[in-house]
């Protein structure tokens, strides 16, 4: 990281001097273009470093120190990550599960932190993956399970209709502050019903963005309760236009949203655009702040964390 920082400072000094003494010269224009190109290259290098760091962090999630690395997929006959956890496999990483009704096994990322048993359905960390995808891509899922991804709407349907599931949404801004939101009875309908979303009671620290009731008049158009899923090529929202097209991501839009975790990734938080198309959780940071990270994960309401037993047998101290 030191090399890029020195290069950036040197470039800024040269640019400042060039601008001050030779504002109208061709050499200044050439130097400016070169520095802009260098800045873009450094940003790309930084994104790659952040992605690598995040992968290393994911590999070190709490769990049995003797378990396999997170990039090694293990086959199971379990219906979700809660059953994987209960079977004694308590290391975060990649597993194959088979939800009830699913025609085939599904590769998922199991998060064994925060009591364990979480099946991760979405993750944003650095903008490396575009979420402005088609209906078919959201149906099947896309991205890299150890990095940024969407698990797939068919998989969400099979998972959430086999029991009463809680969704937990972990959020972080660019100042390092973290918040969360949980909703019980989170359920996604089938494709015939356009993956309609329903959910129950909220608890958390991020604010209840999904119900959109922070201001009474806005709940009629901002609530995501009972909304169908929309993408740029399949418009199922209540808006006269196409929310997914305008806000650059698939989601359960109304007219349009008070939460959109699949929006455009902006690397600096605050942003300007023609629409509020960032990674949004309105009650916390508003419409014009795009969050740094988001993770959506599912677990049965009746999941047994087994925390007492885990503390007894685990060689690691609880996080």
pLDDT tens sequence across 257-296 = 999 999 999 999 999 999 999 999 999 999 999 999 999 9
Q: If phi over 0 gives left and psi between -120 and 50 gives alpha, with beta otherwise, what is residue 32?
A: alpha
pLDDT at 221: 86
The CA-CA-CA angle for residues 175, 280, 293, to 5°, reads 45
Q: What is the mean pLDDT of each run of 10 residues along the chain (319 residues)?
A: 39 47 57 68 62 56 42 91 97 97 97 98 98 98 98 98 97 98 98 98 96 65 95 97 97 96 97 96 96 98 72 34
Q: What are phi and psi of 66, to 5 degrees?
A: -90, 0
pLDDT at 159: 98
User: Residue 109's beta-bridge partner residues?
Assistant: 94
Q: Does domain 81-300 have CATH number 3.90.215.10?
A: yes
Rg of the chain, C-alpha, whole Å: 22
Is 31 within 8 Å of 14 (Cβ atoms)? yes
Rounded Cα–Cα distance for residues 138 and 154 (Å): 9
Q: Which residue has the tokens 């400072």?
A: 9
Rounded Cα–Cα distance for residues 280 and 288 (Å): 8
Tell whether omega for the bond before 256 is within 30 degrees of 0, i.e. cis.
yes
* Domain locations along the chain: 81-300
pLDDT at 216: 45
Sequence-distant (≥ 6) Cβ neighbours of residue 27 within 8 angstroms: 18
The SS3 of residue 164 is coil
Rounded Cα–Cα distance for residues 166 and 277 (Å): 26
The SS3 of residue 4 is helix
């Amino acid at each position: 990281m030191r090399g890029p920082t020195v290069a950036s400072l040197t470039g800024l000094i040269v640019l400042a001097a060039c601008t001050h003494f030779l504002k109208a010269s061709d050499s200044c224009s050439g130097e400016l273009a070169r520095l802009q190109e260098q800045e873009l290259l450094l940003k790309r290098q930084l994104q790659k470093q952040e992605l690598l760091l995040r992968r290393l962090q994911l590999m070190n999630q709490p769990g049995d120190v003797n378990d396999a690395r997170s990039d090694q997929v293990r086959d199971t006959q379990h219906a979700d990550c809660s059953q994987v956890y209960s079977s004694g496999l308590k290391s975060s990483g990649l597993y194959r599960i088979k939800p009830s009704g699913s025609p085939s096994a599904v590769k998922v990322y199991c998060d064994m932190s925060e009591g364990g048993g979480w099946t991760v359905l979405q993750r944003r960390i650095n903008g490396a993956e575009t979420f402005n995808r088609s209906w078919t891509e959201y149906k099947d899922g896309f991205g890299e399970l150890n990095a940024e991804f969407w698990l797939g709407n068919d998989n969400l349907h099979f998972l959430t209709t086999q029991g009463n599931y809680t969704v937990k949404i972990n959020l972080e801004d660019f100042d390092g502050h973290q918040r969360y939101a949980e909703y019980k009875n989170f359920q996604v309908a089938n494709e015939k019903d356009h993956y309609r979303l329903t959910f129950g009671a909220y608890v958390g620290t991020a604010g209840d963005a999904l119900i959109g009731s922070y201001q009474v008049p806005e709940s009629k158009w901002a609530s995501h309760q009972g909304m169908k899923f929309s993408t740029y090529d399949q418009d199922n929202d209540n808006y006269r236009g196409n929310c997914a097209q305008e806000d650059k991501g698939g989601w359960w839009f109304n007219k349009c949203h008070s939460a959109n975790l699949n929006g455009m990734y902006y690397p600096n938080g605050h942003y300007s655009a023609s629409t509020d198309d960032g990674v949004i959780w309105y009650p916390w940071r508003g419409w014009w702040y795009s969050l740094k990270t988001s993770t959506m994960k599912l677990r049965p309401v009746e999941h047994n964390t087994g925390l007492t037993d885990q503390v007894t047998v685990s060689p690691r101290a609880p996080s």
